[in-house]
Chain A
Amino acid sequence: MKLSTIQSDAIQELGNIGAAHAATTLSQMLGSTIEMSVPAVTVVDLSHLAEYMGEESAAMVAFELQGDIPHGGYILFYITRESAIRMTNTMLGLTETNRPLSEMDESALLEVGNIMVSAFLDATAELLGFVMLPSPPSLTIDMAHAAMQSLIAQMQEETNEVLLFSTELTCEEYKVDSDIIMMPERSTLNKIIELLENLMKTG
């Protein structure tokens, strides 16, 4: 899988727009400023996945991409366990950081993931004129690699490489560090690239 610089730039720009909307919603939920990284577009060979996602314990809210393509791949809201606790503490008015995650935390994480990913997909869909909807969310709080690997195993199109498209969202005030990671199926990626190329021609 090889992307040209133009394709990679176009996907980055798409990510910028999606992540900006997601950042706005997170900013509203936390009542604080959110910083956003430049989206990273990486093609990862499966045998090297551990270099990107390791053993670290993280909360991940995953969604299947649905809509105009029924099984379009996956998108997830990723937040390290420490950040997750600081974030839910801010939302729930708690202060103790050295505690297990409760059902309340889990609902809060599901809700935040849902709102952010919906905002991300709404914005990108509007730009592309192509409907991408999130499936109901599914949460796991465990080793990042184990979760990611399980999603890749479920992809419809068998592949030795995945495209990870991630944008980091951080909140300096509450020390919250999170990512939105999109992992489209090859055919979905081709469709997105085609739509972006058309946009650039007409725009």
Chain B
Amino acid sequence: MIGIGEYRVGSFPMMTIGLGSCIGLVMFDPILNLGAMVHIMLPESSGRMDRPGKYADTAVPLLVRELNALGCKNRSIIAKMIGGASMFEYFGTNLNIGERNAEKVRMMLIEHHIQLAAEDVGGKFGRSVTFFPVENGKVVVRRANGTANNI
């Protein structure tokens, strides 16, 4: 289980629950059968270094660096992102952190030349995610109403 701001790297299944405005970002290398997952909370770190997994601008380079260290080439890394919802209508209107998180992740992926293969973002509902790095990066997204879909 990956908590807010945390990340894992490996080939084992990884899970994070209850993404609201947060983003679950996964990256995998289908050639080396390796993957990584991070639970991002905010778009910008504004110079904070203590928890790089917490911010979109530091979490993307963090995962890329970790996968590179294990021999993954950027051109073979594939990313998927989940979350970025707006749970509370009244509070969400002026801030919309979920949308800003998703936008920042997209920008950072382009900057690092990482392909974004799929995304399940936005809406007004929470998502829980299970990621299987060795099953060609399969991602199962579950909602509170019991429905699940693969991306």
Q: Could you tell me which A residues sit within 8 Å of B by CB distance?
A: 46-50, 53-55, 57, 62, 64, 135-154, 158, 160
Asked if B48 and A143 make an inter-chain contact with CB atoms under 8 angstroms apart, the answer reads no
Given contacts A46-B3, A50-B17, A158-B42, list 10 more A-B pairs with CB under 8 A.
A47-B6, A50-B18, A53-B18, A55-B17, A138-B91, A142-B87, A146-B125, A149-B21, A152-B4, A158-B48
B82 to chain A, nearest CB (A): 12
Which residues of chain B have C-beta atoms less than 8 A from A64's C-beta? 91
Which residues of chain A have C-beta atoms less than 8 A from B6's C-beta? 47
Contact of B21 among A50, A150, A158 (CB under 8 A): A150
Contact of B98 among A53, A144, A145, A150 (CB under 8 A): A150
Asked if A150 and B127 make an inter-chain contact with CB atoms under 8 angstroms apart, the answer reads no
| Cβ-Cβ contact count across A and B, 8 Å cutoff | 113
Which residues of chain A have C-beta atoms less than 8 A from B88's C-beta? 62, 138-140, 147, 150-151
Whether a CB of chain A sits under 8 angstroms from the CB of B69 is: no
Interface readout for B91-106 with A: 1 if CB under 8 Å, 0 if not?
1100101100000000
Asked if A57 and B91 make an inter-chain contact with CB atoms under 8 angstroms apart, the answer reads no
Q: Could you tell me which B residues sit within 8 Å of A by CB distance?
A: 1, 3-6, 17-22, 41-42, 48, 50-51, 54, 85-92, 95, 97-98, 124-128, 144-145
Q: Contacts A53-B18, A57-B144 known; A150 to B97 CB distance under 8 Å?
A: yes
Complex: A100 Cα to B78 Cα, angstroms:
39
Complex: A145 Cα to B18 Cα, angstroms:
5
Which residues of chain B have C-beta atoms less than 8 A from A137's C-beta? 90
Asked if B50 and A160 make an inter-chain contact with CB atoms under 8 angstroms apart, the answer reads yes
A13 to chain B, nearest CB (A): 30
Q: Contacts A149-B22, A150-B20 known; A142 to B126 CB distance under 8 Å?
A: yes
Complex: A50 Cα to B91 Cα, angstroms:
22
Question: Can you name the residue of chain B whose Cβ is closest to the Cβ of A49?
Answer: B4
Contact of B3 among A47, A57, A138 (CB under 8 A): A47
A135 to chain B, nearest CB (A): 7
Complex: A54 Cα to B17 Cα, angstroms:
7
Contact of B97 among A49, A142, A153 (CB under 8 A): A153
A162 to chain B, nearest CB (A): 10
